[in-house]
Structure 1
């Protein structure tokens, strides 16, 4: 130490031994300490997010000397990282200190001679520099630090550790190909055991990030064997289970989750492992009763009892998979009645109940539970997905209940007077029974209520304490201290305030889902147009009969609204839920109800468009009806040849057919030209000349059926083949045909020609003067 202190600071030549000693115990030590401090802070703030697709793996204490900092993805941009109060500016400053100290050690103590670094501590310095930069999400700069090692410390025995971090840096840059190359090269190296642990974990995460799930699951097996730490092994098994479940390999996934449960030393991990095990339940072959008994038993044991709501949720999922729908709903209802231990689980429980109602077309109930789920969910991606579903459910609900309401009104309006009276008498009997039941419940509640008016404050252990900070509700009116509900004035005031905010509410679950209605039943009745207020005449059939419309215009308007809602509902079933079968049935029911012509045509078109590839048999009836009832529309053209992007190269036979059809058009034989075009399209639906046939057919239609029908066919052409020259030309022509402008085609000299034509194939021969006068000059841009 005396020698070091007295040594002159010469920049000529530094002793590698002394420089290494000094760098490690001073600047380099400070760099490492700063980085470890940051890691400890991050780890203490970290909370696993079990609702992200995959959990991260690494814990920093399982990495080798010089690499004990951990994986950047674990604390960096991984979606599963949930910080608790770790400020980004503070974190960045600590990492910047680590980086600065490492750079200072490198600048001050590096001993580079003849292209070789003599100070072995510079390996750790550059590795710390690379790690700090990885944590700051600067992988390119991290590679720069590592490249110094590869260039100037090639013979260092720790070079493979630098290679592992090099691959990790490429993975952070999403250059998975280069990262995989490095990992594969290292596979053949004789790695130290501590390096092997890090290698298997990093490689597994890289493969997963690259989308190679099968390979990632296999590599995780190696990671599990290489790492002996219980906590890390539990995480490896859990992640492997998530991947296998995602791949549909439920049996193997279950084994992995069981292993994660056995090795876990974290209570949260144990509970979530049990839930994942339940998710892998196979209703067809697994023992439902045995699994059910196991989860019910474990939910009553010790600290697990505090997570009953989560175990009930798992039991509900399992019952659903076993086809035990009633059991599932019972478990989900139990789950939402228990104390909340995880807001996300509570939200998912509400979602499952809502889904049950949505599957049964009870959209009012489904929407209410979805709203409850959104109010408590904590995982943002799930909330975003459910927000979209909830909005769709509300859209469907509006149409669904409008259809039911109008159908009921229309059906009742057609009934004879005697049947109407019988119907409403039965309805009135139901109201009486419901009100009698409600009254009995109210009397029972009143009998059991009985407020205690005893003066507990006098005998309270706090009676002589003036330090009591609880509000003394009893002194509001100047009386003695007492229990809140024992004072009629405070109770009355509280009830009044409650009614002002929430209105009259029934004592039921989810009472807050609506600001206006007391129950889901009330909302459903409101949507169906049923009376929810106790009107004095509610027991008179005439009260309801008088409300039924009798005017023909009113009934017609009701039917039109009903038909429009049915059309929208059919679209929603397909667009929102991909339920083509239900959408098709809904739209065919609409067609059979004889709606207005435009609604009928739209419904038929939707049926055909949804089914012509999936279910041709269901589409055939719609196609036939469009062709017979709406032959001159763009929809008729569509059903003849649904839009296709898979065109094949045109053949000589097809080109000849087009030339013949074109010549017939120029000879004013429009019907014959149309017949030839129809024949060609049906025989060669994927030929490259189909768009030209379609355009030529539009011109034929313009001559035979008029401008309006031609516009419809041009619209369909522009819709079906928007990127072809014919589709572009159709769109341009529509701008003129739909406006008040008059299109005047001219030749190259500026002389007026006829109406622009559809164009001809290359071998169609020269254009005659007659053709010019009929359809204008041919295309000359080489796109024939």
Structure 2
């Protein structure tokens, strides 16, 4: 009987039962165990991101999850798939197209699930379709349909999945977990298609019918998130309360995040503050919540910030940062918020440091990262100019005081420095004495316990207690203060000795006395200067030229700060104060007009209409011929980009530059720079002028122009570009040594013309083009290049050697015969010189033609 029942070729009752039992309790049993183990692994790998709308199914699919045929990622899913295939191949009993083993449909279901969780959705779809086609009467048919539509959604066929799941729910009488799974899958399809209101109804059905508490909590949480999106806070709180009521029946992360989301819905304006603070304190003090203190502290910090308790909120933001383990998003939120707080307090350097930390916790390929990065870059300018403004303001304020007042301020400052130095010295001496006492105690302990002398460090608990640990240690080299003090004492005793053998020998001590004496004298001199108020008084500028320079630098910093706050940060109040302070400080004429115009625009935006009208009249009356007055009198001119706008003038001037009208470009650029003083377009005209001067007068003129831009417009795009040119391009452009013709690949023939000779250069080029067109074995081109204000070159490009260039030029000068055999004089007899393309670039750049010709 046993031998006969093993056969899959006989359609007998005993054969069917034997293979059904073997399939169910052996192959599929082990396959399902492997599947569950693999699902647990997937769940453990998946980290819930409660900052975003949770997915209905706890599985993340990345774009890089691509597998070759036969390739798998998870060994457990591979084993489950092998068991399912074994069940189908070894225990299948197909007679006349009908399967007699009732467990084979479950084997295909296991096969599809294993492939699904291994993120191989196309093979999974094939397995589910096989059941639907071959086993339509299976008792697992509804589960199979649900799994097929879940797979379809993973393949981005959400519309088809919605249609088929709705048909399943309408036509079939399903209940229990199958109904929960179908509704949850349909909810995810609705979420994928942005039909969030439809998803809520399906999540409600799923939460009511599932018996798995973890899933129930997930469905309630997603509903709460959706209700919050719709602004229905009461409904959201009901969902979060449902999760909180499950308490220890669900993962702690859902319980805590439900509390936090519910607390986010607290009405600060009308709610009971005392009860809410007690609620938050209870969350904080509950020992079970320790793994989630980072989020709890962040929520408490947000509450205090909303109540304008910035000092308390900062404490809790920092507490949250210290508790964060892996939540990089929360880390970035804490750093960004702290940065914003310090920015609002005008502590720009500290704000910049927090923004730097924010960027380290963010994904670089995201829009929020780019926003923070741009804000941080803009902050560089603020930090730079605020530093200048504050420093120069302090200097000018001190200079404005009487000598007696100056002396009183610096006397107090010097005394404070002396007291700090004494305190630091006392701390060092105490630390050294403490170290000595502990060393004596440790030695005495070792004498009383000889066995400990041979023990490795750390074996004796008493020794460990005496010596401490690295974080809270009395060990000499773990204490920075005692180490620094020890270094000083060593130098005083032994001098500055080399690290070598026999360093203590007398031969090495010849200069100890001098070293000690010199060090003592140096220390004494430094201390005398630090604690002497006359030192600081002597550092104050006294020359009027120097004082004026400080004031001028301060005023320019105020102007730049006004522009930055207005344009980049939209901080109109800060911009207003900077421009108003600037105008009160007797600024240069070039800053007055743009500052007044910017103040006019700010007054309008702040609703200060009376001040705006006063400023408008001042600009029109005091500067009637300015561009700003024209804009105020005719606002449409600015919008239409008329011929007086900087954009229009710059565009035309650039066209002249491209046409090599360098002298005209320089003259017009200088005119516009004076006319538009303080305008954002001025650096662009400066760049154009520097480039034109470089083309006309050579590298040194270009270098001077670029250096001026880099120094004058430090924090503009043009200033940064100029600095980049100085750093990276100048080392290459400065080279004026000619290269050997053997190292060049392209050569030119140059015909030289004097601009004031009255010769028709264009006529010459026309004749030259006709002659060049006769040469078909080279790809030759001609051009007219300005050399300097007195000289123009006509150039033939495209020759391959210096000899070839000279030969071509001589060919142009040779006599020819016409069709009748008569000798025709050459059309081009003008002098020329041949030059390689690299050397031609050098003579154009450095205007050293004569130096090149002397070498020929």
**Would you call these one fold, judging by a TM-score over 0.5?**
yes
| Contact map agreement 2:561 2:578 (CA 8 A) in 1 | no
Alpha-carbon displacement from aligned partner over 1:298-336 (angstroms, at most 9, x marks no partner): 433454478666544322222223444344335445656
> Corresponding residue for 2:344?
359
Instruction: Select the structure of larger CA radius of gyration.
Output: 2
Which of residues 246, 265, 270 in structure 2 aligns to 1:280?
A: 265
Which of residues 526, 529, 534 in structure 2 aligns to 1:536?
A: 529
- Indicate how the Cα distance of structure 1 residues 416 and 272 shifts in structure 2: closer, same or farther if over 3 A, else same: closer
> Corresponding residue for 1:77?
61
Alpha-carbon displacement from aligned partner over 1:388-411 (angstroms, at most 9, x marks no partner): 677556544542243233334554
Matched, 1:188 2:165: no
Which of residues 301, 313, 326 in structure 1 aligns to 2:298?
A: 313
> Corresponding residue for 2:639?
641
Matched, 1:34 2:50: no
CA–CA separation in structure 1 for the residues paired with 2:116 and 2:588? 65
- Indicate how the Cα distance of structure 1 residues 743 and 553 shifts in structure 2: closer, same or farther if over 3 A, else same: farther
Deviation at 1:24, TM superposition (A): 3.5
CA–CA separation in structure 1 for the residues paired with 2:595 and 2:94? 79
| Contact map agreement 2:220 2:240 (CA 8 A) in 1 | yes
Residue 146 of structure 1 aligns to a residue whose secondary structure is helix
CA–CA separation in structure 2 for the residues paired with 1:434 and 1:611? 45
| Contact map agreement 2:4 2:15 (CA 8 A) in 1 | no
Matches within 5 A, 1:469-480: 470-471=457-458
Which of residues 114, 135, 144 in structure 1 aligns to 2:117?
A: 135
CA–CA separation in structure 2 for the residues paired with 1:202 and 1:396? 47
Matches within 5 A, 1:179-218: 179-189=161-171, 190-218=173-201
Which of residues 494, 508, 531 in structure 1 aligns to 2:478?
A: 494
Matched, 1:163 2:145: yes
Residue 147 of structure 1 aligns to a residue whose secondary structure is helix
Deviation at 1:170, TM superposition (A): 1.9
Matches within 5 A, 1:147-296: 147-189=129-171, 190-265=173-248, 266-296=251-281
- Indicate how the Cα distance of structure 1 residues 554 and 288 shifts in structure 2: closer, same or farther if over 3 A, else same: same
Deviation at 1:445, TM superposition (A): 7.1
The Cα RMSD (Å) is 6.2
> Corresponding residue for 1:766?
none
Deviation at 1:226, TM superposition (A): 1.8
Deviation at 1:195, TM superposition (A): 0.5
> Corresponding residue for 2:681?
none
> Corresponding residue for 1:774?
none
CA–CA separation in structure 2 for the residues paired with 1:8 and 1:537? 101
Corresponding pairs, count: 608
Matched, 1:98 2:80: yes
CA–CA separation in structure 2 for the residues paired with 1:177 and 1:640? 51
Deviation at 1:291, TM superposition (A): 0.5
CA–CA separation in structure 2 for the residues paired with 1:445 and 1:497? 8
Alpha-carbon displacement from aligned partner over 1:624-675 (angstroms, at most 9, x marks no partner): 9999427999xx99973379xxxxxxxxxxxxxxxxxxxxxxxxxxxxxx89
Residue 536 of structure 1 aligns to a residue whose secondary structure is helix
CA–CA separation in structure 1 for the residues paired with 2:282 and 2:261? 17
> Corresponding residue for 1:761?
none
| Contact map agreement 2:8 2:91 (CA 8 A) in 1 | no
Matched, 1:300 2:285: yes
- Indicate how the Cα distance of structure 1 residues 21 and 411 shifts in structure 2: closer, same or farther if over 3 A, else same: closer
Residue 285 of structure 2 aligns to a residue whose secondary structure is coil
Matches within 5 A, 1:490-639: 491-495=475-479, 536-537=529-530, 540=533, 543=536, 546-548=539-541, 550=543, 552=545, 559=552, 563=556, 567=560, 570-571=563-564, 579=570, 581=572, 585=576, 628-629=626-627
| Contact map agreement 1:299 1:308 (CA 8 A) in 2 | yes
- Indicate how the Cα distance of structure 1 residues 112 and 434 shifts in structure 2: closer, same or farther if over 3 A, else same: farther
| Contact map agreement 2:392 2:554 (CA 8 A) in 1 | no
- Indicate how the Cα distance of structure 1 residues 372 and 242 shifts in structure 2: closer, same or farther if over 3 A, else same: same
Alpha-carbon displacement from aligned partner over 1:511-561 (angstroms, at most 9, x marks no partner): xxxxxxxxxxxxxxxxxxxxxx98835663772563448575895598469
Q: What are structure 1's unaligned runs of at least 5 residues? A: 59-73, 82-88, 505-532, 644-673, 679-690, 713-734, 751-784
- Indicate how the Cα distance of structure 1 residues 563 and 11 shifts in structure 2: closer, same or farther if over 3 A, else same: farther
> Corresponding residue for 1:525?
none
Matches within 5 A, 1:717-728: none
Scaled by the length of structure 2, what TM-score is found?
A: 0.55
CA–CA separation in structure 2 for the residues paired with 1:75 and 1:470? 49
Q: Which moved more, 1:93-102 or 1:10-19?
A: 10-19
> Corresponding residue for 1:49?
48
Q: What are structure 2's unaligned runs of at least 5 residues? A: 66-70, 489-525, 670-690, 697-760, 771-856
| Contact map agreement 2:317 2:338 (CA 8 A) in 1 | yes
> Corresponding residue for 2:710?
none
Deviation at 1:428, TM superposition (A): 3.5
- Indicate how the Cα distance of structure 1 residues 127 and 468 shifts in structure 2: closer, same or farther if over 3 A, else same: farther
Q: Which moved more, 1:262-271 or 1:582-591?
A: 582-591
Matches within 5 A, 1:671-690: none
- Indicate how the Cα distance of structure 1 residues 268 and 28 shifts in structure 2: closer, same or farther if over 3 A, else same: closer
- Indicate how the Cα distance of structure 1 residues 27 and 214 shifts in structure 2: closer, same or farther if over 3 A, else same: same
CA–CA separation in structure 1 for the residues paired with 2:605 and 2:762? 39
CA–CA separation in structure 2 for the residues paired with 1:534 and 1:31? 81
CA–CA separation in structure 1 for the residues paired with 2:418 and 2:560? 41
Residue 191 of structure 1 aligns to a residue whose secondary structure is coil
Alpha-carbon displacement from aligned partner over 1:552-603 (angstroms, at most 9, x marks no partner): 589559846974796488458765xx64646864896699686796998899
Q: Which moved more, 1:175-184 or 1:582-591?
A: 582-591
| Contact map agreement 1:28 1:102 (CA 8 A) in 2 | yes
